[in-house]
């Protein structure tokens, strides 16, 4: 129904102004945005001890943008406890997913969450295969060290939490809040979580949508 009302609004605009090019552009932009939303599928992986804000900020802002982001536990159950002792249930367990529809894979930082994610071989195998096929991968805080251990950051620009920068083997280390180099995105930590999430939204739906989400939560992008 919402789509129909939007179309009728556009039709009335065309009738009033009589500009064929205008109706075509508005309608095509609308369809493109909706198709991007439908097609965008993201998985974010949680282990006990992941950093609450880094993980959930991505989930929150992506869902505001209409992106289908699924939280995935690497445990056999959906029950996860964050690094600050908050208990939550993920959407799925790792074993319940085949990830064939993924457009992006995201891993948050925090300890010991990052350690557990790095030690979980099925996730490492998935990341390696996805990256090899050109899929977008993203990590924040300590988690970029997981990407480094897989060789993803070799000769790439990347960033991480200050005490984890030495773990970015082969990378050109950066102090930028968010670094996008090809299909790899890295970010520094809790304080850059909103910028990180908005960058990912921009990559999937365009910067206009990212700016729209930033404005909706009263956030000024740098």
Joined tokens for residue 130? 């996805």
Extended beta strands in the chain, E state = 41-46, 68-73, 79-81, 87-89, 92-93, 104-107, 136-140, 157-158, 172-173, 178-181, 184-187
Extended beta strands in 49-100, E state = 68-73, 79-81, 87-89, 92-93
141 is catalytic: yes
Q: Which of 200, 177, 202, 181 is nearest to 189 (CA)?
A: 177
User: Count of CB atoms within 10 A of residue 130's CB?
Assistant: 19
User: Which listed residue (141, 143, 190, 205) is catalytic?
Assistant: 141
Beta strand 87-89 with 178-181 is unpaired
| Residue 57 burial class via C-beta count within 10 angstroms: exposed 0-12, middle 13-18, buried 19 and up | buried
Contact at 8 Å (CB) between 173 and 158?
yes
Active site residues: 141
């Amino acid at each position: 129904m919402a789509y129909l009302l939007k179309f009728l609004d556009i039709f009335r605009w065309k009738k009033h102004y009589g500009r064929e090019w205008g109706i075509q552009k508005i309608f095509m932009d609308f369809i493109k945005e909706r198709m991007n939303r439908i097609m965008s599928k993201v998985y974010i992986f949680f282990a006990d001890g992941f950093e609450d804000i880094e993980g959930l900020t991505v989930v929150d802002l992506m869902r505001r943008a209409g992106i289908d982001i699924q939280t995935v536990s690497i445990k056999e159950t959906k029950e996860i406890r964050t690094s600050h002792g908050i208990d939550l249930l993920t959407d799925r367990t790792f074993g319940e997913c085949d990830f064939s529809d993924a457009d992006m894979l995201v891993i948050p930082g925090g300890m010991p969450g990052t350690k557990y994610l790095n030690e979980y071989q099925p996730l490492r195998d998935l990341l390696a295969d996805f990256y090899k096929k050109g899929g977008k991968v993203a990590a924040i805080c300590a988690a970029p060290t997981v990407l480094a251990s897989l060789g993803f950051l070799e000769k790439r620009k990347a960033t991480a939490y200050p005490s984890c920068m030495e773990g970015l083997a082969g990378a050109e280390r950066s102090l930028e809040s968010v670094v996008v180099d090809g299909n790899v995105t890295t970010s520094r930590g809790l304080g850059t979580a909103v910028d990180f999430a908005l960058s990912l939204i921009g990559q999937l739906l365009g910067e206009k949508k990212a700016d729209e989400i930033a404005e909706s939560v009263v956030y000024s992008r740098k």
